[in-house]
Amino acid sequence: MVCSTCEDYSFKELNLKKTYVNIAVPNIGSWKVVEKLGFTFESTSKHEFYVKGKYLDVKKYYLLKEDWIKMNLLRWI
């Protein structure tokens, strides 16, 4: 899965402590994907993206490396 590969690269190779995802509010399918991957909702930013002549609000999610490690350990139990 592409999303899992991005997480692996972010935390293993780049040694990041936190990753972020910004998703346009109308994109409900993407919210569900990142929530299943363990991301936590942080905030909604008003008028963040300008697409096809209108501004869209954005939902911001984050994933901490420590939470990612816990989720990966639980997969093996």
Eight-class DSSP state of 9: I
Nearest-angstrom CA–CA distance, 6 and 9: 5
Residue 74 confidence (pLDDT) above 90: no
Token reading at 9: 């690269």
pLDDT digits (tens, 9 = 90+) for 15-69: 999 999 999 998 999 989 999 889 999 999 999 989 999 999 999 999 999 999 8
Q: What integer pLDDT is reported at residue 29 of this predicted model? A: 94
More confident residue, 43 or 9: 43
Residue 67, strand partner residues: none
Q: What integer pLDDT is reported at residue 50 of this predicted model? A: 92
Q: What integer pLDDT is reported at residue 30 of this predicted model? A: 92
Instruction: Mention every residue, 6+ apart, whose C-beta is less than 8 A from residue 71.
Output: 38
4-11: average pLDDT = 82
67-77: average pLDDT = 78
Nearest-angstrom CA–CA distance, 35 and 72: 15
Domains of the chain: 2-70 (3.40.630.30)
Going from the C-alpha of 34 to that of each of 21, 54, 55, the distances in angstroms are: 8, 25, 22
